Amino acid sequence: MGIQITPSILNADFAALGAEVARIPSADWIHVDVMDNHFVPNLTFGPTMVEALARSTDIPLDAHLMIADADRHAPTYVEAGCASVTFHVEAAAAPVRLAREIRAAGGRASMALKPATPVEPYEDMLGELDMLLLMTVEPGFGGQKFLDLVLPKIRRARALMDKHGVETWLQVDGGVSLETIERCAEAGADTFVAGSAVFSADDPDAMVNALRAKASDSRD
């Protein structure tokens, strides 16, 4: 899999999301951060809003669910039009069953790990996942500082994927910018979420392309 850049709309103008997404035509995916004020101390939007956004763009949606009781709610986001749905393993009672349900509903199944959650316990279920998301900040807010302490886990996750020969994408999310993306790519990430770096740029679409170029360079 090549490098993919997935801007997060968390720091975009929520009153004009359709227009904000239209500013980043070069994005491979649009990352939508769903928060419930329970799993994380912040509240964003739910399936109705996501469904409206899906109708407003041809770019596929990558839902990142930072919500409790993921088992119950995640398949709803496939029905709402998300091509990829990420649940947090810390919020899932039965992650294998849930990943299978997301796939059965027609979505790409993805599982997220907070910075302090180890990857090794999930080695045997990597084949159940289309993507693994390693958070590089504590989830909840955009604009936080990138946590370098996650880099060794990115390397270990990549090694486990190589060992098992799986096609699982490896996504990083949190504090990804022109300053930090090379470190993530060198460690083995291939899918990059960037929120404030993209939406605080004068030209968000140029930033998407600059991030992609930088990540691609460091993988050569």
Which residues contribute to the site for Zn ion (CB under 5 A)? Answer: 33, 64, 173
Catalytic position from the list 33, 62, 130, 190: 33
Pattern 50-69, ligand DX5, x by CB under 6 A: --------------x-----
Least distance in angstroms from the C-beta of 167 to Zn ion: 22
State the pairing for strand pair 4-7/169-173: unpaired
Least distance in angstroms from the C-beta of 116 to ligand DX5: 15
By a kind-dependent CB cut-off of 5 to 8 A, residue 175 interacts, out of Zn ion, ligand DX5, none, with: ligand DX5
Residue 13 appears among annotated catalytic residues? no
Q: Which of 21, 61, 137, 208 binds ligand DX5 (CB under 6 A)?
A: 137
Distance CA 31, CA 5 (A): 10
The continuous run of DSSP H or E covering 136 comes out as: none
Closer residue to ligand DX5, CB minimum distance, 41 or 106: 41
By a kind-dependent CB cut-off of 5 to 8 A, residue 174 interacts, out of ligand DX5, Zn ion, none, with: ligand DX5
Contact between 143 and ligand DX5 by CB under 6 A: the answer reads yes
State the pairing for strand pair 169-173/131-135: parallel
Residues listed for the chain: 220
Is residue 3 a contact partner of residue 194, using CB atoms and an 8 Å limit? no
List, in sequence order, the alpha helices (H) in the chain.
17-22, 47-56, 70-79, 95-104, 151-164, 181-187, 196-199, 204-219
CA torsion through residues 92, 95, 97, 100, sign = positive
- Chain residues binding ligand DX5 by CB under 6 A are 8, 10-11, 31, 33, 64, 137, 139-144, 173-176, 193-197
- List, by residue number, the catalytic residues: 33, 173
